[in-house]
Structure 1
Amino acid sequence: MQEGQVDIKTPEYVSLQFQPAGLGSRAAALMMDQIILSILNILIVVILFFATTGNNSPFGFYLFELNSTLWGVAIVALFVLNWGYFFALEYFWGGKTLGKRLLGIRVMQENGHSVTLLSCFIRNLLRIIDMLPASYFLGMIMIFLHSKHKRVGDIVAGTIVVHERRVKGKRKEIAIEKEMRNRGLRKEDLSVEAWALKQLGTKEWSLVKTYANRFSQLPRSERNQLSKKLADILFPKLGLNMEGKTYNELEDTLLLLYLEMRDEWEYEL
């Protein structure tokens, strides 16, 4: 089945066009993730084996005598690692695992927003079904046959995996990056929790991007007014207090927000 375009209208009435990721790219990304997980699993098992063999270890080191409880805890830890790897990375890393990032694909909601905690939880919990009867057979069949290349987890969670291409226009990026460099701003300076950033969607990204692109072109008085208006809209959603802040401090925070959001939202589909 060839990959086609999917048109989606966001809650903000913005029309977006997506190219769903097909079976080949998704399988390749999963294979990379499984290789990474396999290496981690083997390392944990080997370390635990030598830690529980006691004086019988051929390497002559030990931490604990053979303990069934410890192995039970390890089995639970391995399950959490293998399931939590996909859940944590997709939620906190803009819908991407390491494999997806290398392949240039990402998970997002069908309304164009980034994945929520609930949708990310559901789609990854239902991997158990997609894996049946073995080796993601059901999931692969669903991806191949579904018009939007969805597996069971995607259908139930309302998510879609899409290709992304970075925006090629760099003139404005360079200008704003120069401004931020002159101000000594880095992403690490933004004191906003990851869960708070998840409250921002395409509408907020559009506002922040427009602000950053017009920043150096605006007269000082207009820039101050725009900074104040944008801060009034965004800061309450992020749990930031703007009271007592100077215009320069408002600008710094808004530019840092642009820098943080750009990694997740600056793409063409």
Structure 2
Amino acid sequence: MHEEQVDIKTPEYVSLQFQPAGLGSRAAALMIDQLLLSIVNILIVVVLFFVTSGNHGIFSMVEINSTLWGIAIIAIFFLNWGYFFALEYFWGGKTVGKRLLGIRVMQENGHSVTLLSSFIRNLLRIIDMLPVSYFIGMVMIFLHSKHKRVGDLVAGTIVVHERRVKGMRKEKAIEKEIRRRSLRKEDLTVEEWELKQLGAKEWNLVKTYSNRFVQLPLAERNQLTKKLAFILYPKLGLDVQDKTYEELEDTLLLLYLALREEWEFEL
């Protein structure tokens, strides 16, 4: 069956093709997220109820501390809103539900979702939820050519499908080299917000470097390593000086491990 595709031109003139996530997958992801939030909300209320009930029995509401309940209500509000905002920004455009359904939020220019766009699209959930049960949001997703709700339109975001390769596959040469060097993504000394400075253009540079890494003669590899380090290191606040070629290589390969989780998927 033919699947709807959207072509996106990034500011770096990289052409990307995506399959927008429709109403079914987005609704299923939202149901999973809401179920998780409901469980947490209920636990908070139950715990607070027992704490504020004191020794007057479970059914006695007279002595409930109104201040604690007020704080709890505010906390529940920020939890339910902040869950989507924080996870989408810090977890590559995904919440738990989106990850399970294989979809993610991204900028319509192909870049990762920004702090501002994540804030705006989730703030406007208030409108998408009107009048009840995300009615406006569902209608917008169903009717819009790119399946956008109001929050997506204002924030300039789009929700797309990821279809990662499943099952057994042959280990790539670069993966063998990374394993030989005992490199792990956790070894990368770069903050998450700094990684978000890198977009599709940088990912394509790192991916091309990694694909050619093993085949290149040592002299050419050293030259390419230094050139790429001078491009990427300043964007991450890293110092190129006084680094050996092996140290530069290790950092670039770690960047490959970190970036591929967000950018290496089939569409």
Identify the TM-score tier after normalising by the shorter chain. Answer: over 0.9
| Whole-Å separation in 1 of the counterparts to 2:142 and 2:125 | 16
Alignment of 1:26-105 (within 5 A): 26-57=26-57, 66-105=64-103
Counterpart amino acid of residue 250 in structure 1: L
Secondary structure, aligned partner of 2:214:
helix
Question: 1:3: Cα distance to partner?
Answer: 6.1
Counterpart amino acid of residue 175 in structure 1: A
| Whole-Å separation in 2 of the counterparts to 1:81 and 1:151 | 22
| Whole-Å separation in 1 of the counterparts to 2:107 and 2:165 | 21
Counterpart amino acid of residue 53 in structure 1: S
Secondary structure, aligned partner of 1:217:
coil
State TM-score, norm by structure 1: 0.93
Match of 1:14?
A: 14
5+ residue gaps, structure 1: 59-64
> Deviation per CA, 1:25-50, whole angstroms, max 9, x where unpaired?
11011001100111111111111111
Match of 1:61?
A: none
Preserved contact between residue 3 and residue 22 of structure 1 (Cα < 8 Å): no
| Whole-Å separation in 1 of the counterparts to 2:254 and 2:165 | 19
Question: 1:12: Cα distance to partner?
Answer: 1.2
Detail structure 1 runs of 4+ shifted over 6 Å in the superposition: none
| Whole-Å separation in 2 of the counterparts to 1:67 and 1:254 | 55
| Whole-Å separation in 1 of the counterparts to 2:22 and 2:12 | 27
| Whole-Å separation in 2 of the counterparts to 1:98 and 1:144 | 23
Among 221, 226, 247, the residue aligned to 1:228: 226
Preserved contact between residue 20 and residue 162 of structure 1 (Cα < 8 Å): yes
Counterpart amino acid of residue 189 in structure 2: S
Alignment of 1:126-137 (within 5 A): 126-137=124-135
Preserved contact between residue 3 and residue 20 of structure 1 (Cα < 8 Å): no
Identical amino acids, percent of aligned pairs? 80
Question: 1:17: Cα distance to partner?
Answer: 1.5
Question: 1:72: Cα distance to partner?
Answer: 1.1
1:239 has 2:237 as partner: yes
Q: What is the CA RMSD across the aligned residues, in angstroms?
A: 1.6
Match of 1:198?
A: 196
1:117 has 2:118 as partner: no
| Whole-Å separation in 2 of the counterparts to 1:239 and 1:215 | 24
Question: 1:57: Cα distance to partner?
Answer: 4.6
| Whole-Å separation in 2 of the counterparts to 1:242 and 1:56 | 67
| Whole-Å separation in 2 of the counterparts to 1:187 and 1:219 | 26
Question: 1:174: Cα distance to partner?
Answer: 2.8
Preserved contact between residue 3 and residue 21 of structure 1 (Cα < 8 Å): no
Among 156, 180, 183, the residue aligned to 1:182: 180
Question: 1:15: Cα distance to partner?
Answer: 1.5
| Whole-Å separation in 2 of the counterparts to 1:249 and 1:182 | 15
5+ residue gaps, structure 2: none
| Whole-Å separation in 1 of the counterparts to 2:76 and 2:16 | 39
| Whole-Å separation in 1 of the counterparts to 2:142 and 2:105 | 17
Among 209, 212, 217, the residue aligned to 2:210: 212
Secondary structure, aligned partner of 1:55:
coil
| Whole-Å separation in 2 of the counterparts to 1:74 and 1:4 | 44
Identify the range of structure 1 (48-57 vs 124-133) with the bigger mean alpha-carbon deviation.
48-57
| Whole-Å separation in 2 of the counterparts to 1:242 and 1:72 | 52
State TM-score, norm by structure 2: 0.93
Secondary structure, aligned partner of 1:192:
coil
| Whole-Å separation in 2 of the counterparts to 1:221 and 1:243 | 19
